[in-house]
A and B are shown apart, each in its own frame.
Chain A
Amino acid sequence: MVTVSKKMCLIGDFGVGKTSLIGRFVDGQFSDQYLSTVGVKISRKNIILSKENTADNDLQLLIWDLEGHTKFKSIAPSYLQGSKGALVVADVSRPETIDRIPEHLSLFYSVNPQRKIIIALNKVDLIEPEKAAKIFHSTQSLYQEKVLYIYQTSAKTGEYVDEIFEKLAVFMT
């Protein structure tokens, strides 16, 4: 059995819930309190990948929690070096964070041209299901071709949190 380590990044505007998604995935915990991330914080998580036609293998995910984009400070490309995939996170209750998804996509692709991105429309617990569905469809029609998947997630309820990390891990080779 060989343990392989793979780097993935979480990219998005400040306060969209990148740290919370990692907290939910890695530690199974969630806090409503906002704590802004400065610089980068790396978390490790070992998972077992089940792939068709191959033996199960352990994978160590190195999850880079990057400081969120603000109008004063953009995300430094150097952090994205060597990343095999990325989760682009947006907050469904703040339309401007959804509007900035293409910037994050092109930033990541400029460093890593392989299209290994999943979009997480986070905080779906805060809005009406009808509105969430509407946002999901409009996001899908805009970015479907550019990313692997688009999910509606909630770090608070855990909805589709494990899925986004595990799905991305499968595609990171």
Chain B
Amino acid sequence: MNPLFLKMLQVRGSEYLILDQQGIIINASLGAGRFGDPPQQLIVGVDVTYLFPELLGLEDIIKSIWQGEMEDFSLTAIARILPQQSPLYFDIHIFANPESDHENNKLFCLLEDATERRVLEQSLVQNSNETNLLVNVLRVSKNYIDQILVSMADVLIVTNSLGAIKTINQATIDLFGYSEAELVNQSIFLIVRDASIIPNKPTRCQTKDGVNLLISFSYSTLEIDAELPPELVYVGRNITELKRQQKRQELQYVIAQILTTTNSLDQSVPIILETICRHLDWDLGELWMPKSFDSFQLYLVDSWSNPELDLGELTENQKYITIDYNKGMAGKVWAEGEPDWIIEIADETEVVARDFLIKYGLHSAFSFPIIGNSTDNKILVESENLAIDNKLTPTKQNVLGVMTFFSQNSQSLDLDQLYLMKSIGYQIGQYVNRKQTEVALHNQQEKTNRLLLNILPESIATQLKEDSKIIAETFDDVTVLFADLVGFTNLSSQISAIELVELLNQIFSEFDNLTEIYKLEKIKTIGDCYMVAGGMPERNDNHAASIAEMALDMQQVITNFNKVSRHHLSLRIGVNTGGVVAGVIGTKKFIYDLWGDTVNTASRMESQGLPNIIQVTTITYNRLQEKYRFSERGTITVKGKGEIKTYILEGRK
């Protein structure tokens, strides 16, 4: 062996083995045995595979090298790791000894110590592999958490302490329609429309498309860095639908309440419009109705607009608009009797006042019919004998009006809401019918009352309405007047009956006015005789004077009448004061009347009087003599009473 070559091996820490053809070690460097497994000192004469099992199975390769068919073969980084010992790494290079002069020692194994390099490599690989495994574990757990966040139905938003969004989940993207890039680093108030977020209370939010949502947020703080203020983790549940349903139920209840507590359409419509707007988040509500049943145009009856928005000019404008039958949304709803919804007004061509609505930022609209009771209207149609085209009548008859709502926010078609409004439309329609009936009934009652009051004193009429039994009442102190038109019978032969009645009506109407002035009760007329009483049914003390005034004025009425008409009429008036019985007799064509001696005597004063004379009894005279001028008439005979003294009222003192 070349000494220089051996020196070089020694310097590099390398060892060698020389093998014979059977694989027996026939020569070796001094330290070669330390690479053996197990390591041992004396190795010459040992089968190489016993110490180096790595060579087992390489018989074919070794043979090829021996025969010169293959240059060499190497195995690198063979480890010898024994308990409680530092590891040893080495490389084996097998080649034919080029210097060998003997066939038997031709195979040369070079054993190169690679411990230092491999230990270093081991620690590098260890590090790299551990990192790799750790990253893998992290990725798996991140995927797992991401998966949880993605599959989370609730909205998850993480912001910094100032409200800038840092992290969102898929549910947030899906719900609000913004991409991740559009939200991250933006304020959370890009989507939240309330001024603050109160935990577990409905918070108003808005999507990218302008759809309003109600989200119930809960939040917790997340301390990332002790130096920095904590981050906020919001978890939000979309409660829009839940709240919407609650609001719908509430709306139905409130509308029902309004309809039962208000007295008229005028009173209820503004409240209904506002209630619907506020409950369902619409900004403008209108009621359109035809002015009459046979009209083919709708007019604005009333409207309500969100006071936070300045829609005044728009609502003012709407007042001067009419909507034709079957034109625009309201006109179609009127014609078809079905509700309608417009998501985007700008996308529609057939909208009444479209440009105006767009100018005021209104995007969505819906409309529903106020549907009344069809049978009532059919009667109306027949009674008013309207010639409406048969094709149009069925719905137009039922649809009393149309309610239309507008919103600045875009509102997507909500069928549930539409059905709800249709049913509310029926409710309001029923209400309108009911109120119309009530008004008609009220008018009828008014008429009846007026008629009744013509025949009966008001207090008696009231009593009669409440209890229709016979009413008879005694009055101790009343004054009764009878007046007879003298010359009237002669007149009847000169003019026609109709002219005669007209004339009588003219005079008696004036007398009626006088009873109003002096608060006297007209009892009846019998032919050309007029009967009036004072001091009843409401009792008072100056009935005698009132009757005296009445009597004097009646004479004046006749004087004036004669001047104008050139007729020669005169009045014979008789007055008496005393007790009477008053009451109503019968149930048909009943009349309020007076009975008693006082009445008979008063009648006698008239019948035994003279034209243009007011004849009174002593009793009446005694009441009036201080304030009125009288003259004595003398005595007259009254049936059942004999001779009585009478006076003539001449005038006021």
- Please measure, in the bound complex, the distance between the C-alpha atom of A62 and the C-alpha atom of B133, giving whole angstroms: 29
Asked if residues A78 and B37 are in contact (CB atoms below 8 Å), the reply is: no
* Interface residue tally on A, bucketed by range: 20 to 34
**A81 x B61 contact (CB < 8 A):** yes
Contact for B56 among A7, A35, A40, A72, CB less than 8 A: A7
Q: Given A14-B132, A15-B133, A78-B73: A40 and B79 within 8 A (CB)?
A: yes
Q: Is the CB of B77 within 8 A of A62?
A: no
CB-based nearest A residue for B81: A41
Whole-angstrom distance between the Cβ of A45 and the nearest chain B Cβ: 12
A-B residue pairs in contact (CB < 8 Å), sample of 25: A6-B57, A14-B125, A15-B129, A34-B126, A34-B129, A34-B133, A35-B126, A36-B126, A38-B79, A38-B118, A38-B122, A39-B77, A39-B79, A39-B89, A40-B75, A41-B79, A44-B53, A62-B57, A68-B129, A70-B128, A70-B132, A78-B74, A82-B57, A82-B59, A82-B61
Task: Kindly list chain B residues whose C-beta atoms are within 8 Å of the C-beta of A72.
Answer: 128
Residues of A contacting B128 in the complex (Cβ-Cβ under 8 angstroms): 70, 72
Contacts of A34 in B (CB 8 A): 126, 129-130, 133
B466 an interface residue at 8 Å Cβ cutoff? no
Least CB distance from B212 to A in Å reads 45
User: Of A35, A36, A41, which is in contact with the most chain B CB atoms at under 10 Å from its CB?
Assistant: A36
Tell me whether A42 and B126 are in contact in the complex, defined as CB-CB below 8 angstroms, given that A34-B133, A79-B75 are known contacts: no
1-56 of chain A: CB within 8 A of chain B:
5-7, 14-15, 34-42, 44
**7 tightest A-B CB contacts, nearest first:** A39-B77, A82-B57, A7-B57, A38-B122, A41-B79, A36-B126, A14-B129
Q: Are B57 and A42 in contact (CB under 8 A)?
A: no
| CA gap between A83 and B58 in the complex, in Å | 9
When distances are taken between beta carbons in the complex, the residues of chain B under 8 Å from A36 are: 122, 125-126, 129-130
Contact flags (1/0) for B562-603 with A, using CB distance below 8 Å?
A: 000000000000000000000000000000000000000000
Separation of A6 and B49 alpha carbons in the complex (Å): 12
Q: For the complex, give the distance between the alpha carbons of A15 and B77 in Å.
A: 19
Is B125 touching A70 in the complex (CB atoms < 8 A)? yes
CA–CA, A14 and B53, complex, Å? 24
Cα distance, A78 to B132, chains bound together (Å): 26
Interface residues of A (CB under 8 A from B): 5-7, 14-15, 34-42, 44, 62, 67-68, 70, 72, 76, 78-79, 81-84, 94
Instruction: Write the residues of chain B forming the contact surface with A, with a CB cutoff of 8 angstroms.
Output: 37, 49, 53-54, 56-61, 73-79, 81, 89, 118, 121-122, 125-126, 128-130, 132-133, 136
What residues of A have a CB within 8 angstroms of the CB of B58 in the complex? Answer: 81-82
For B89, what are the chain A residues with a Cβ–Cβ distance below 8 Å? 38-39
Smallest Cβ distance from B459 to chain A, in angstroms?
97
User: Contacts A14-B132, A62-B56, A84-B57; is A78 near B75 (CB within 8 Å)?
Assistant: yes
Bound together, the chains give a CA A79 to CA B75 distance in angstroms of 7
Closest B-chain residue to A94, C-beta based? B136
Report the minimum CB–CB distance from B617 to chain A (whole Å).
Answer: 124
Q: How far is the CA of A9 from the CA of B121 in the complex (A)?
A: 22
| CB of B578 to closest CB in A, whole Å | 117
Please name the residue on chain A nearest to B76 by beta carbon: A39
Q: Is there contact, CB below 8 Å, between B57 and A40?
A: no
Docked pose: A41 CA to B118 CA in angstroms? 13
Q: Which of chain B's residues has its CB closest to A34's CB?
A: B130
A62–B59 touching, CB < 8 Å: no
Whether A38 pairs with B121 at a CB distance below 8 angstroms is: yes
- List residues of chain B with CB within 8 A of the CB of A62: 53, 56-57
* Complex CA–CA separation, A70 to B59 (angstroms): 30
Query: In the bound complex, how far is the Cα of B128 from the Cα of A84, in angstroms?
Result: 32
Residues of A within 8 A of B79 (CB): 37-41
Looking at the assembled complex, report how far the CB atom of B41 sits from the nearest CB atom of chain A, in whole angstroms. 21
Closest chain B CB from A29 CB (angstroms): 11
> Which residues from B are CB-within-8-Å of A40?
54, 75, 77-79
Closest residue to B89 on the A side, CB-wise?
Answer: A39
Residues in chain B near residue A78, CB distance under 8 A: 73-75
Q: How far is the CA of A83 from the CA of B54 in the complex (A)?
A: 11
Closest approach, in angstroms, between the C-beta of B134 and any C-beta of chain A? 10
B37 to chain A, nearest CB (A): 7
- The answer to whether B53 touches A5, judged by C-beta atoms less than 8 angstroms apart, is yes
- B129→A70 contact, CB < 8 A: yes
Q: Report chain A residues within 8 Å CB of B54.
A: 40, 42
Expressed in whole angstroms, the Cα–Cα distance for A7 and B132 within the complex equals 30
Q: Whole-angstrom distance from the CB of A43 to the nearest CB of chain B?
A: 9
Q: How far is the CB of B73 from chain A (nearest CB, A)?
A: 7
The distance in angstroms between the C-alpha atoms of A34 and B77, with both chains bound, is 20
Output the nearest chain B residue to A76 by Cβ-Cβ distance. B76
Give the Cβ gap from B329 to chain A, nearest Cβ, in Å.
Answer: 58
CA distance A34 to B130 in the complex (A): 8
* Complex CA–CA separation, A38 to B123 (angstroms): 9
Residues of A within 8 A of B133 (CB): 15, 34
Task: Write out the residue numbers on chain A whose beta carbons fall within 8 Å of the beta carbon of B121.
Answer: 38
Residue of A nearest to B125 (CB): A36
Contact indicator B125/A38 (Cβ below 8 Å): yes
The chain A residue sitting closest to B119, CB to CB, is: A38
Q: Which residue of B lies closest to A5 (CB)?
A: B56
- A79–B37 Cα distance when bound, in Å, is 18
Q: Which residues of B contact A94 (CB under 8 A)?
A: 136
Bound form: Cα–Cα A79–B91 in Å:
12
In the docked arrangement, what's the CA distance between A70 and B128, Å?
9
A43 to B, closest residue via Cβ: B53
Q: With a CB–CB cut-off of 8 A, which chain A residues contact B53? A: 5, 42, 44, 62
User: Which residues of B have CB within 8 Å of A41?
Assistant: 78-79, 81
- Nearest-CB distance from B131 to chain A (Å)? 11
Q: A39 CB to closest chain B CB, in angstroms?
A: 2
CA distance A79 to B54 in the complex (A): 9
Q: A42 vs B122: C-alpha distance in the bound complex, in angstroms?
A: 17
Q: Does B118 contact A39, Cβ atoms closer than 8 Å? A: yes
**In the bound complex, CA of A58 to CA of B73 (Å):** 30
Q: Considering the chains assembled together, what is the distance between the CA atoms of A171 and B205 in angstroms?
A: 71
Nearest B-chain residue to A71, judged by Cβ: B132
Residue numbers in A under 8 Å from B122 (CB-CB)? 36, 38
Extra 5 A-B pairs, beta carbons < 8 Å, given A38-B121, A40-B54:
A36-B129, A39-B76, A70-B125, A78-B74, A82-B57
